[in-house]
Amino acid sequence: MNQIIKTSDPAVKALCPVAESEGIATVFDRYQAQQPQCGFGSLGLCCRICWKGPCRVDPFGDGPQAGICGATRDTIVARNVTRMMAAGAAAHSEHARHVALAMQRVGKGQLPAYQIRDPQKLFRIAEKLGIETQDRDMLDVAYDVASKSLEDFQNQDHHKGCNWISSSLPQKRLNRLKKLGVLPHNIDATVAQIMARTHIGCDAEPQNVFLGGIRGALADFNGMALGTELSDVMFGTPSPIVTEANIGVIDKDAVNIAVNGHNPLLSEVICDVAREMNDIAKAAGAAKGINIVGICCTGNEVMMRHGIPLATNYLSQEMAILTGALDAMVLDVQCIMPSLPQIGNCFHTEVITTSDENRIQSARHVSFHEENAVENAREVIQYAINAYTRRDPKKINIPAIKQTAVVGFSAEAIVAALAKLDADDPLKPLVDNIVNGNIQGVALFAGCNSTQTTQDESYQVIAKILAANNILLLATGCGAGAFAKHGLMTPEATKQYAGESLKAVLTAIGEAAGLNGPLPLVLHMGSCVDNSRAVAVATALANRLGVDLSDLPVVASAPEAMSEKAIAIASWGVAIGLPTHLGTMPQVTGSDAVTALMQQGAKELFGGYFLIETDPKVAGNKLVDVIKQKRQGLGI
């Protein structure tokens, strides 16, 4: 194999030669084997919606200009991207439904493995959703909050918006979205409607199709807001905690278990049960007991709540197994590479799927159900301990590469830190510093890793440009993983890369909050569903200033967007008014009409728009300009 390793992560560079010498193909090899990738698909011009297809529209105008049914390039591209938004919304919302259903049962006392760990947040949410709290039992309130959240999957009244969206965005934004007819009334119905209207022979008007997709993207936002908030209630609202990130967190003297995926329902219980089973691991010979590490967004979930170290992010999940010291990888849902069991088979690693709807050929399967959560957790941990005894010492190769990361900046944690500066009015220091220009604006980094670009690199290039221009940085998902692995979630990074006025503000807040130094350069807000946390902060700012979200000097950037979920997130980012950068080429450029709709068209409709730029330096500078324009617009 002649490998081209498209990564900036030193641990990945260190481990790829292991794969090569063992004859194991990784994501980088498979990427190469796919070259050249199909031009029709890359432009979004391939349609497989019916079995007369596949149909392809010639991008240069010489060949066919419509599919067999007559669908034009614009219709085909619009339908393809809209279906992606629906799939993203479905994925996040299934996660959310799962959490809400579990919370309903916690409210009925039916799930002893789970508790209400943040009752104050429960009562805050109840009030926000209009649920009576006076003198009521906590579990009854939990049941009602979960039920009200589940209404967002059931409501059939088109005139009534979803509960979470209605209570999470500024009124000005809600009014604008309502006028455009893109507010969802029901998550499931919206996803189903997109599938129906994009069936052959249905909605063929590109803008109408795309706006249907935007409604799906807003359903995605609704799902993630409720998924995030109910997870906090059950598992605790994150607050700053110091941990480590990158492959060096795997410890050769421990039974190493990676939790990978997105949904915290099982991984939370694994963290609890691992403490009880430490002695069993020690008795099996692991001097340091059990070491849980995280990957992808499940990794973010347990990192921000328990300080569990992060082994790596999406693109390098296979690398954890290549260390030869990972005893089990426990998988739940989403962004899991189907290649993992094959690689696990080359080592002693147990690769265990746990969701009945998310299985992988040749992986071990432990069917997870909340009512058996503790037994399920014990079973997977026991598999890991057994595997530990089968390790081949000659195959152990853990690059000693890791970085400190300060993580866990929920909206509540940010407000709590600000309250140290002004207890009566915590938002005031933030608002004042934005208005006086010490903080020029806010950028949220979200999204994935993609082989379209060099892993983690654009995140760092863009973040450093924005930080030098005094823009406050937030991050979620694999973006957060990238920053954690590369040492940008530390006070030292603030000292090194922040512009003078941003540095002064982060230092004042960090010291007041007792951190003995500045806040980290990039604030870790959590996993991908936690993007709603950033919206909570932006909404508080907008309400405070009496403006809409599209007026704020706030931008989003997804330098390596790849998944359907990321497309849904970016699309609701645009719909709520944020200029949203994509650093990878979306599969829409085969249609000038759709590409224009996502840029100028969206700007007119929503105030937010897609900013497509694959060069990270140029992107960074463009985002700085956007923030300047927004400030001018506000007259600050």
Positions 476 through 515 that interact with ligand BF8 (CB under 6 A): 477-478
Compare residues 201 and 338 and give the one whose CB is closer to ligand SF4. 201
Burial of residue 63, with CB atoms counted within 10 A of its CB: 0-12 exposed, 13-18 middle, 19 or more buried? exposed
Which of 508, 387, 530 shows the shortest CA–CA distance to 438? 508
Those residues with Cβ within 8 angstroms of residue 596's Cβ, 6 or more apart along the chain or in another chain = none
**Which of ligand BF8, ligand SF4, none has residue 448 at its interface (CB below 5 to 8 Å by kind)?**
ligand BF8
Helix (H/G/I), strand (E/B), else coil: 205: coil
Closest separation between CB of residue 207 and ligand BF8, Å?
Answer: 27
Q: Is 618 in the site for ligand SF4 (CB under 6 A)?
A: no
Total residues contacting ligand SF4 by CB under 6 A comes to 14
Closest separation between CB of residue 566 and ligand BF8, Å?
Answer: 5
Q: How far is CA 430 from CA 79, 495, 537, in A?
A: 41, 19, 10
Positions 184 through 243 that interact with ligand BF8 (CB under 6 A): none
Query: d(Cα 443, Cα 623) in Å, to the nearest integer?
Result: 9
Q: Are 160 and 221 in contact (CB under 8 A)?
A: no
Closest separation between CB of residue 485 and ligand BF8, Å?
Answer: 13
Task: Provide the 10 A C-beta neighbour count for residue 367.
Answer: 12
Q: Is 296 in the site for ligand BF8 (CB under 6 A)?
A: yes
Q: Is 67 in the site for ligand SF4 (CB under 6 A)?
A: yes
Q: How far is CA 366 from CA 96, 263, 266, 369, 586, in A?
A: 21, 15, 11, 9, 36
Q: Is 271 annotated as a binding residue?
A: no
Q: Is 69 annotated as a binding residue?
A: yes
- Span interacting with ligand BF8, options 29-37, 277-285, 421-429, 445-453, rule CB under 6 A: 445-453
Query: d(Cα 631, Cα 51) in Å, to the nearest integer?
Result: 51
Compare residues 83 and 391 and give the one whose CB is closer to ligand SF4. 83
Q: Is 297 in the site for ligand BF8 (CB under 6 A)?
A: yes
Site string for ligand SF4, 10-49 (x = CB under 6 A): -------------------------------------xxx
Q: Is 16 annotated as a binding residue?
A: no
Q: Is 280 in the site for ligand SF4 (CB under 6 A)?
A: no
Which of 317, 331, 309, 300 shows the shortest CA–CA distance to 533? 300
**CA-angle at 124, arms to 119 and 127, nearest 5°:** 125
Positions 181 through 240 that interact with ligand SF4 (CB under 6 A): 200
Cα-Cα-Cα-Cα dihedral sign, residues 560, 566, 571, 577:
negative
**Which residue type is seen at 132?**
E
- Span interacting with ligand BF8, options 77-85, 407-415, 459-467, 561-569, rule CB under 6 A: 561-569
Q: Is 346 annotated as a binding residue?
A: no
Closest separation between CB of residue 282 and ligand BF8, Å?
Answer: 32
Compare residues 50 and 545 and give the one whose CB is closer to ligand SF4. 50
Q: DSSP letter for 600, please.
A: I
When binding is defined by CB under 6 A, the residue of 77, 448, 467, 552 that contacts ligand BF8 is 448
Element (H, E) at 460: helix 457-468
Query: d(Cα 511, Cα 520) in Å, to the nearest integer?
Result: 12
**Which of ligand BF8, ligand SF4, none has residue 396 at its interface (CB below 5 to 8 Å by kind)?**
none
Q: Is 52 in the site for ligand SF4 (CB under 6 A)?
A: yes
Q: How far is CA 374 from CA 116, 274, 295, 317, 328, in A?
A: 17, 10, 21, 26, 17
Burial of residue 105, with CB atoms counted within 10 A of its CB: 0-12 exposed, 13-18 middle, 19 or more buried? middle
**Which residue type is seen at 105?**
R
Q: Is 335 in the site for ligand BF8 (CB under 6 A)?
A: yes
Compare residues 212 and 447 and give the one whose CB is closer to ligand BF8. 447
Q: Is 619 in the site for ligand BF8 (CB under 6 A)?
A: no
**Which of ligand SF4, ligand BF8, none has residue 297 at its interface (CB below 5 to 8 Å by kind)?**
ligand BF8
Q: Is 581 in the site for ligand BF8 (CB under 6 A)?
A: no
When binding is defined by CB under 6 A, the residue of 444, 528, 541, 611 that contacts ligand BF8 is 528
Closest separation between CB of residue 84 and ligand BF8, Å?
Answer: 12
Compare residues 179 and 199 and give the one whose CB is closer to ligand SF4. 199
Element (H, E) at 85: helix 73-107
**Which residue type is seen at 389?**
T
Q: Are 281 and 289 in contact (CB under 8 A)?
A: yes
Nearest 10 degrees: CA dihedral of 547, 548, 554, 556? 170
**Which of ligand BF8, ligand SF4, none has residue 55 at its interface (CB below 5 to 8 Å by kind)?**
ligand SF4
CA 78 to chain centre: 24
Q: Tell me the two tokens of residue 596.
A: 């224009």
Q: Is 448 annotated as a binding residue?
A: yes
Q: Is 335 annotated as a binding residue?
A: yes
When binding is defined by CB under 6 A, the residue of 13, 41, 42, 53 that contacts ligand SF4 is 53
Those residues with Cβ within 8 angstroms of residue 133's Cβ, 6 or more apart along the chain or in another chain = 123, 126, 127, 141
Q: What are phi and psi of 505, to 5 degrees?
A: -70, -45
Q: Is 68 in the site for ligand SF4 (CB under 6 A)?
A: yes
Binding residues for [Ni-4Fe-4S] cluster: 262, 297, 335, 448, 478, 528
Residues that bind ligand BF8 (CB under 6 A): 262, 296-297, 314, 335, 447-449, 477-478, 527-528, 563, 565-566
- Annotated binding residues, as ranges? 38, 46-47, 50, 55, 69, 262, 297, 335, 448, 478, 528
Binding site for ligand SF4 (CB under 6 A): 47-50, 52-55, 67-69, 71, 76, 200
